[in-house]
Structure 1
Amino acid sequence: MREILSDLVAEEQQLDQFLQGISDRDWKKKTPASGWTIQDQVGHLAHIERFAADVLEKGRSVIDDARSELADFDAWTERGAAQYRRRRHQEVIEQWRFARADVVDALSRMEASERLPWIHGDLSARTFATMRLMETWAHGLDIKAAILGRVEPIPEDDLDEGEEDPLADTDRLRHIAWLGQRALPFAFEQAGEQFPEQGIRVELMGPKYATWRFGPEDTDQVIKGMAGDWCRVVVRRQHAGDTGLKAVGDYAELALKVAKAY
């Protein structure tokens, strides 16, 4: 668990630092998520992290008690963000900090394979932590898009010496890329499609030319491309057709249309 938790904390801290650099007025800026401001995005993170912390502390009863509300997940998510809408933004970010710290603390005392209850079914502790990283990164994209006007990073060659891009891809994306491939059967089911028996492999190039491969080696259904593109597609922040991702096989083509990590 040490590796995924270290990367989770790093992702949360990076977003926290970005938020510290924006103005009070910026917190009311609209993000790509319809109707949501930056404050709504952070409010959602505070809400979902507190819910996750409660699940880790109290177990399945937390989800059972919220089952009727969770039946309309979008409405539940909206109510969660709305409860932070009229608070001071510094209070909102503090609530997010407290909640995410509780999540990391609880997960740090678990084995990676330990099974935990979650909204759409039981997960391993490792996958639970990866979900938290994925959600932090995805909503971070929305927040940064509101300030920077883009969700894609600037190519390294186009940056000035010493310049850092807040949207630069990091090797932490390997966790989200793995999750996106593991979630393909779920994505196919949600789309009403049959997942292929041979599975689908994803072959990616990460930052600094790292090579990441996920999925069965003997399948003829393959997705290839840049890790950042794949991750933005599986968190629904970019359409596959707007990226350089390539599919080999009909099921791989379909996967690019239905893929989602949550």
Structure 2
Amino acid sequence: MSIVDGVVADLTAQSAELDDLVSTLDDEAWSRPTPAPGWTIAHQIAHLAWTDEVAALAATDPDAFGALASAALENATGFVDDAAAAGAACSPAQILADWRRGRAALADALRAVPDGEKIPWFGPPMSAASMATARLMETWAHGLDVADALDVHPEPTDRIRAVVHIGVRTRDFAYIVNGLTPPAAAFRYEITAPSGDVWTWGPDDAADVVRGPAVDFCQLVTQRRALADLDLEIIGDQARQWSGIAQAFAGPPGAGRAPSTGQEVR
């Protein structure tokens, strides 16, 4: 199995897990608010449906995607919310059908991208493997919002290694998007997978170390939990600074989530 096939398979499985969570909900439950301000469960799934559809367009028709992206970026701070709101106005059955169709088209499109070819996006162009990884990250993060709204706790799997990978790779982006200069020295990451394996990045002798469970790390970098609520060991001044701005998703700095203790987000 190629790298692309492997990540697409994980994306498909992650999407199916979330599909199982929402497909049996009644229409009233789709209107339940999630931790994202102003977003219901319908908004969350509509957002995934729209983004998967647009990613498939980018992989198959770059010119059409370019026109869509240009129009969207005229409303750079609002087009994501606007698209989610438009999708959420549809019936739950329609939202679910659109998402299923879009994610299937995306999987086919990503598998067909020639080796070495980049897919245009709202940020830097990406390889098919990177696009699949980014979609898996978003599916996991928005799925967590849905699970929180329903007060359920899906069993984590090692598929979240892709989310950890993006969290590590976007360290410098988090600094830049906050108007800060990234540290010159690499961090050490020692992340414990749901299976018990330990995933590592960075030099053994790094002065700055981030250590802890993969789920907690993923919640940090997707800004789904405040650092105060996570079981992460952060060693070093630079790592502590990064932990307050960590952001695996594109766009302007996220507001993060307030700690359950009521303290302000760092």
Q: TM-score, normalised by structure 1?
A: 0.88
Matches within 5 A, 1:240-259: 240-259=227-246
Tell me which residue corresponds to 2:190: 203
Asked whether 1:23 is paired with 2:26, we answer: yes
Of residues 96, 99, 102, the one that matches 1:96 is 99
> Is 1:66 matched with 2:53?
no
* 2:126 is the alignment partner of 1:123: yes
Report deviation, 1:172.
0.5
Spell out the pairing of 1:104-143 with structure 2 (5 A cutoff).
104-110=107-113, 113-143=116-146
- CA 1:221–1:63: 2 relative to 1, 3 Å: farther
> Match of 1:85, as an amino acid?
A
1:12 to 12, 15, 26: 15
> For residue 121 of structure 2, what is the amino acid of its counterpart?
W
Which of 154, 164, 184 does residue 177 from structure 1 map onto? 164
CA distance in 1, matches of 2:128, 2:164: 17
Q: Quick one: distance in 2 between partners of 1:65 and 1:31?
A: 28
1:63, 1:119 within 8 Å by CA — same for their partners in 2? no
Report if aligned partners of 2:5, 2:111 keep a CA contact under 8 Å in 1: yes
SS at match of 1:78: helix
Q: Give the drift of 1:191.
A: 1.1
5+ long unaligned stretches in structure 1? 149-164
How far apart are the structure 2 equivalents of 1:50 and 1:70?
A: 17
Taking every aligned residue pair, what percent have the same amino acid on both sides?
A: 33
Query: Unaligned 5+ residue runs, structure 2?
Result: 250-266
The 8 Å contact of residues 23 and 96 in structure 2, kept in 1 or not, is answered as no
Structure 2 partner of 1:229: 216
Q: Is the 8 A contact 1:171 1:207 kept in 2?
A: yes
Separation (CA, whole Å) in 1 of partners of 2:37 and 2:115 = 36
Counterpart of 1:151?
A: none
How many residues of Structure 1 are paired with residues of Structure 2 in the alignment?
246
Per-residue deviation, 1:118: 1.2
- Are the aligned partners of 1:181 and 1:201 in contact in 2 as well (CA < 8 Å)? no
Question: What code does the residue aligned with 2:167 have?
Answer: G
Deviations along 1:198-242, whole A, 9 cap, x unmatched?
122211111121111123445322111111000011111011121
Match of 2:52 among 44, 49, 58: 49
Cα distance, 1:2 vs. partner? 1.8
Contact kept? 1:18, 1:166, Cα under 8 Å: no
Structure 2 residue 132 is matched with structure 1 residue 145: no
User: Which of the residues 191, 194, 201 maps onto 2:181?
Assistant: 194
Cα deviation code 1:67-119 (max 9, x no counterpart): 35325444101111122233211111100111111111011123565322111
Post-superposition shift, 1:65?
A: 4.3
Query: Post-superposition, which runs of at least 4 consecutive aligned residues in structure 1 deviate over 4 A?
Result: none
The alpha carbon displacement at 1:36 in A equals 1.1
The alpha-carbon distance between structure 1 residues 202 and 59, as it changes in their structure 2 partners (threshold 3 A), is same
Name the CA distance, whole Å, in 2 between partners of 1:106 and 1:256.
35
Aligned with 2:206 (options 219, 224, 227): 219
In structure 2, what is the equivalent of residue 162 of structure 1? none
